[in-house]
A and B are shown apart, each in its own frame.
Chain A
C-alpha cells in the first residue's frame, strides 16, 4: 500500500511529460468569483467557532445517527424496479455517447462544444448537488454500470452455469483505485494544459469507461462500482448525506446524514476523502496570489532541468496539487493522533477510518463553495449547447442563440459559499460527535476526544474560507 502514492506520482509525471496540450490554459467559464470581503470572512470564522462550542455543550449525550434504521422512513415514490433501471441506464449510456461523439466530431472551440461543459459542470458538480438531495443518483445513470449489468445479464443467459465467478477483490486495495481516479481527474482538470480540449476529453472518457468495464468483468459490477470506480464511489459518498434514498425501486426518506455512519471503512477511504478535499483546495489556491508568485519560480526550476515552459508549468502545478493533498491528509492525521492521546486501544489508522465519514459533508461544502457559481452560470450554457452540440450551427431545440444570464449578484454567491462551508462544518461536527459517543464509553472521554476532531474541522473550514477570501485579492 506504501507503493501506491509513489506509483501515482510516477503515473502523473509520465502523463505530464508524454501528453503535450494544445488548448490555452484559460478558464472554460471565463469568469471567476470575486473574493469574499474581509468582514464576511471574519464573521464566518467566528460563526464556525461559536457553532462548534455551542455544539459541544448541547449536542445529544447518546448516539443518534448511528442507530437509524435504513428501512424506516416514509415511502415517497415507488417505481417498477427493472423498467426504471433500464430506462435510467439507457439514458446514461446515450448521454455518454452523445458527449463523446460531440467532443470528437464537433468544433474544438471548448465553449461551443457540448463536451467540456457537460463533463466539468453538469457531471462533476451537478451530480454532487443532486446527490445532496436525492441520494446516489449517479448509480442509476452510470453508463459503465449500465453496460456492465446488461453485459452480465446477457452473459448469464447465454453461458448459464458455465459463466465464471468474478475474482475476489483484494481487500487491501479498498478504495485506493477510486482515490487514484479522483486524483487523476483533478490533475486533468487543474493541471493538464489540454484540459478543455473536447476531443482529448472524449478519448479520456472512453479510456476511463473501458477501464471500468475491464474492472467490472474481473471483480463483478457491484464490487467495482462501490470500491474502484472513482465517480461511482465519490458520488455515492455525497449521496449518503441526502434525506432521500433509493432502495429496491422505492424512494424513501431518512434523517439527513444518516446514510453516512453505515459507510464501510476499507483501506483508502481516508485517502480518497483527503484527495477530494485537497484537490478542490488546490483549485482555489492556484487562483490566489500566493500560488501566482510561487508557481513561476517553481516553473523556472523545472525549465532549468531541461523541460519546456509548458511542461515545466504542468510539473509545478502537479507538485502544488500533491503538496496540498498531503497537507490535508497531514492535518487530519494530526487530529487523529491527538484523539489517540485521550486513551482507548484503537490504533491510529483504524481510528482515522472510524471518523472518515465526518469529512464527507466538508468535502461537499468545498465543492459547493468553489463551483456553485459555475453551475449557476456556466450550467446555463447547456441550454444552447444541447441545441448545437457540435458547434456547427444546427439548432435542434431552437435555443442555440440563448446566452448566459448572470442572475445572481456576487453578494449572493458569497452568501451561498459561506453558508455551504459553515453548514458542512456543522454536519461534520455532528457526525464526529455521534461516532465518538459510540467509540468512547464515558461521555467525558468522548467530549475530550472531540476537542481534537473539532480542531481539525475548524482547520479545514478556516482553510476553505481563506481560499475564498483575502488570499485571492
Chain B
C-alpha cells in the first residue's frame, strides 16, 4: 500500500466515524423524546413479592399547598423499615421538578444522595420532597440511620 492510499483510507475512516456519530446522535434526539414529568414504577422487586403497586389506595395526606398538582405525586411507603414492593424508581428529565412523598412506620431521616437533601420523618408520619432536578445521574434515596435504600432517583439529560 502506498502512503497516499494509506492516507486516503484513514481519512475515509475518520469521515465515516465522524459522520456516523453526527447522524446517530441527531437521529436519537428525534426518536426518543423520553417521558417527561415524574413517573414511579416498581422494579427490582423481589421474586417473592410480585409487583405490589405502592401508590394505589393509599393516597398520602396532601402536604402540598399547590392548587393543581398535575401528576399524582409518587408515594413511597415504608413498612417495617423496608420499602413496599422493593426499591422504588423515580424517573425525571433534567430541569423538571422531582416530587415524591415518603410515608414511614419507622422514624428515620430520609436522605437524597447527590442532592444531599435530608428530612426527618416521624414514626407513622410522612414527608414530602419537591426540588428541581439539576444534576443528572442515578441517585440513592435512603433511610439514613438504618442505611436502607428505599428509592432510586434517575435524572436523565
Contact = CB atoms under 8 A, between A and B. Distances in A.
Do these two chains interact?
yes
- Interface of chain B, main secondary structure: mixed
**Residue in A24, A31, A42 whose Cβ sees the most chain B Cβ within 10 Å:** A31
Nearest to B135: A406
B157 interface: yes
A57 interface: yes
B114 interface: yes
Given A26-B147, A32-B138, A296 B20 contact: no
Interface residues of A, number: 32
B24 A47 contact: no
Contacts of A47: 17, 20
B138 A23 contact: no
A183 B149 CA distance: 28
Top 9 nearest A-B pairs (CB, nearest first) are: A30-B113, A24-B147, A410-B136, A32-B138, A39-B28, A39-B24, A406-B135, A31-B114, A54-B13
Interface string A38-63: 11101100110011001001100000
Contacts of A393: none
**Residue in A30, A34, A373, A406 whose Cβ sees the most chain B Cβ within 10 Å:** A30
A411 interface: yes
B24 A42 contact: yes
B157 A33 contact: no
A34 B156 contact: yes
A384 to B, nearest CB: 12
Given A26-B147, A34-B138, 15 more contacts: A24-B147, A24-B148, A30-B139, A31-B114, A32-B137, A34-B136, A34-B157, A38-B28, A39-B25, A39-B27, A43-B21, A43-B24, A58-B10, A373-B137, A406-B135
Band of interface residues on B: 20 to 34
Contacts of A43: 20-21, 24-25
A468 B16 CA distance: 24
Interface in A346-393: 373
A34 B20 contact: no
Interface of A: 23-24, 26-27, 29-34, 37-40, 42-43, 46-47, 50-51, 54, 57-58, 292, 296-297, 373, 403, 406, 409-411
